[in-house]
Amino acid sequence: MRNTKEIIEELRKRGLSNGGSLGYHSGLMDEAADLIEKLQKENEFHRETIRKNNQKALDVTLEEIEKAKSESAVKHCQKRGVWNEQGNCSECKKNVYKGLDADIWSRYAPPFCPNCGVQMEGVKIGNEIRKDLLTK
């Protein structure tokens, strides 16, 4: 298979700018060569842009990643929630019984929300939070 440079040279030979040589000549050949060169330049520009963006992504250090993870974990651990009487989490509002073979009558109230991971302080009944109703 021929490389792009050879193809452009062949097209230029058959273009109108080289009318002194023998054979078929057309302005279409010049246009094709111009288009290929233009596409090559655009392709190189996009490759350079991708390379720069990838370098920016690589410049994030492992320390920054670890710091972000620990800050996220601390925020997550500090959150507390309660189950309401219908089994909904006070943080994510999702129901603890969804997808389980259990319902409100089974009194399933785990210490952590299976949907968002928040630690539960108890079950809110009226204005009272009952820790003793958490499933152990």
Q: Which residue has the tokens 């309401």?
A: 84
Q: Which residue has the tokens 């009952």?
A: 130
Per-residue pLDDT of the chain (136 residues; tens, 9 = 90+): 578 788 888 887 777 776 655 556 667 777 888 888 888 888 888 888 887 777 766 666 666 767 766 666 655 557 788 988 888 889 889 888 776 665 555 667 888 888 888 888 888 888 888 888 887 7
Domain with 106, as residue range(s), is 68-133
Same domain, 83 and 45: no
In this structure, is residue 37 part of a structural domain?
Answer: yes
Same domain, 105 and 81: yes
Last residue of a domain, one of 58, 82, 100: 58
Same domain, 79 and 125: yes
pTM of the complete model: 0.41
In this structure, is residue 20 part of a structural domain?
Answer: yes
